[in-house]
Amino acid sequence: MSQVLQELIDTLGDDCVLTGDDVHSRSAGIWRRDTVQAKAIIRPRSTQEVSTALRICHAHDQKVVAHGGLTGLVESAITQPDEVALSLERMNQIEELNSVDRTMVVQSGVVLQAVQDAADAQDLMFPLDLGGRGSCTIGGNISTNAGGNRVVRYGMTRDMVLGLEAVLADGTVVSSMNRMIKNNAGYDLKQLFIGTEGTLGIVTRAVLRLREKPLNQVTVLVASDAFVKLPGFLKHMDQALGGTLSAFEAMWNRFYTQVTTAPARSQPPISQEYPYYVLLEAMGCDEGVVEAALTEAYEKDLICDAVLAQSEGQRQQLWGMRDDVEQCFRDGPTIAFDVSLRISDMEGYVAEVESRLAEAFERCDVYIFGHMGDGNLHLVIGVGAYSKEIRRKVESSIYEPLRAIGGSVSAEHGVGLEKKPYLDISRSTVEIELMRTLKRALDPKGILNPGKIFDLAPGGAEAAA
């Protein structure tokens, strides 16, 4: 056993450090067939134990990768055999819920759905919501600045975090557990750790901002016969619903058909004949107002058909259809993408992507859906086979069209290893160099999630790519 592992065991205890089959029997992540490859998994029970573990690893130049719910899709939590994983799975407590201040203090290993349920029990709401709610953790949501279904109204995770606690590479604890909405006293240090994928520090605790639970939720599925009508429909509904629109999820026909055809669990609530569908939700708006807005949209020829959920069960069925992304994987290997762009560029972008793919491959299954209301599209691409070369060709077809329109290769999933080669499409040379400067300042040895997002330039702790 290596010296660093022995010191970790001697200091933290046998139950805190897993090795051998206890490591390699664990799945490396959602929708993956491989298992964790690491020399050990450290399982601290407190911020202090995280600090102790990182202090020991720092002294031995041991590389560390933080693990949450492992629901990420960009290989940001993938470990190498010479690295150790630091799992927050045992730091899963809700420490405080203050209904007056509408805040919740949580450890970073708490599962998102547990936070949602705890808030709901107090007639409050934590707005963040995404398909992996039952397994993703708050620490992972913070580290990737997760978005999800309600960004159009409530913003990203960044907008729901008042304060947090994080541990730097050398074990230093940065406790910025602010409980106020307004605090302009100097730098907002929590932003260093939100969306930086565990490369600058490991988040251990957070203060979350809660909202009042809406009195009702109105969920509607509509169909449209032309993409050009969807931006007008979004504007019409957002205005007519008086700011209560919380979700505007677009689905192209191929995706909708796939998730509403057996063996998928859902049946089509609306005929599969239309090219576009939108799942929208209003929180705190009277159902009559929504119905009136839909009627007006129909009269303006913005939509062709609509189905309004009449019960909580029907609402869950509509969302279950939208969340059933796994149906896109049933016909062979696929590659999933997460891009961001202006709504006004979407139709042209999709047309160029489909043209590039058709030129490069004989077979191409393109499933498109996503959070259109906030400019985020998800694309799942299948070409009948998979190899590194095929992947590079598909990635080029998806990412290169974003360059000319100022789009982003990552809307909400992060960069990790998967999107690192394409970071320059979305960030300038100056921006990337400033990222490197921050990395060197907070993690000079480069031990935290090494190689993710970008490589440090020659002379840094990591070799350049």
Query: pLDDT at position 457, please?
Result: 66
Residues with Cβ within 8 Å of 227's Cβ and at least 6 positions away in sequence, in order, are 275, 276, 346, 347
For the chain, give every domain's residue range: 3-87, 94-212, 217-326, 331-423
Asked if pLDDT for residue 212 goes beyond 50, the answer is: yes
Structural element, H or E, at residue 48: helix 47-59
What average pLDDT does the segment 46-74 reach?
Answer: 97
Q: What is the pLDDT of residues 115-138, one digit of tens each?
A: 999 999 999 999 999 999 999 999
CA distance from start to end of the chain: 31
Percent of the chain with pLDDT over 70: 98
Q: CATH 3.30.465.10: does it fit domain 94-212? A: yes
Burial 344-364 (b: 16+ CB within 10 A, else e): ebbeebbebbeebbeeebeeb
Cβ neighbours of 25 (radius 10 Å): 10
Least confident of 10-14, 197-201, 254-258, 461-465: 461-465
Whole-angstrom distance, CA of residue 385 vs CA of residue 269: 32
The answer, yes or no, to whether residue 465 has pLDDT greater than 70, is no
Mean pLDDT (whole number) for 335-359: 97
Q: What is the predicted pLDDT for the residue at 456?
A: 80
CATH level 2 (architecture), domain 3-87: 2-Layer Sandwich (3.30)
Residue 454 has pLDDT above 50, yes or no: yes
What pLDDT score was predicted for residue 31? 87
**∠ at Cα 327 (248, 127), nearest 5°?**
35
- Please check the confidence at residue 65 and state whether its pLDDT lies above 60: yes
Mean pLDDT of 217-234: 98
Note the pLDDT tens digit of each residue in 137-194: 999 999 999 999 999 999 999 999 999 999 999 999 999 999 999 999 999 999 999 9
Q: What is the pLDDT of residue 352?
A: 98
pLDDT at 40 over 90: yes
331-423 classified as CATH 3.30.70.2740: yes
Q: Give kind and range of the element (H or E) at residue 365.
A: strand 365-371
Taking residues 192-203, report their average pLDDT: 98
Write the DSSP assignment of 390-455 as a string of letters. Answer: HHHHHHHHHHHHHHHHT-BS-SSS--TTTSGGGHHHHS-HHHHHHHHHHHHHH-TT--BSTTSS-P
Q: Which residue type, as a one-letter code, is found at position 285? A: C
Same fold, 217-326 and 331-423: yes
Q: What is the mean pLDDT of residues 108-120?
A: 98
The percentage of the chain sitting over the pLDDT mark of 90, rounded to a whole number, equals 96
Contact (CB, 8 A) for 95 and 107: yes
In this prediction, residue 213 carries a pLDDT of 96
Q: What is the pTM of this model?
A: 0.94
Give 284-326 pLDDT, tens digit per residue.
999 999 999 999 999 999 999 999 999 999 999 999 999 999 9
How much is the pLDDT for 458? 47
Confidence of residue 463 (pLDDT cuts 50, 70, 90): very low
- Residue 464 has a pLDDT of 36
Distance CA 152, CA 144 (A): 18
For 368-380, the pLDDT digits (tens) are: 999 999 999 999 9
When pLDDT is averaged across residues 350-369 and rounded to a whole number, the result is 97
According to CATH, what is the number of the domain 217-326?
3.30.70.2190
Q: Does residue 459 have a pLDDT over 60?
A: no
C-alpha pair distances (Å), 170 with each of 58, 383, 401, 441: 5, 45, 41, 12
For residue 114, give the 3-state DSSP assignment.
helix
Q: Are 343 and 234 in contact (CB under 8 A)?
A: yes
Eight-state DSSP code of residue 456: P
Rg, Å, the chain Cα set? 23
What does DSSP say about strands 173-176 and 245-252: parallel, antiparallel, or unpaired? unpaired
Would you state the torsion angle of the CA atoms of residues 251, 256, 258, 263, taken in this order, to the nearest 10 degrees?
Answer: 130
What's the chain's average pLDDT? Answer: 96
- Answer positive or negative: Cα dihedral of 422, 427, 429, 435: negative
Residue 110's pLDDT is: 98
What average pLDDT does this structure show over 406-432?
96
Q: For residues 337 and 356, what is the distance between their CA atoms, to the nearest angstrom?
A: 15
| Partner residues linked to 374 by β-bridges | none
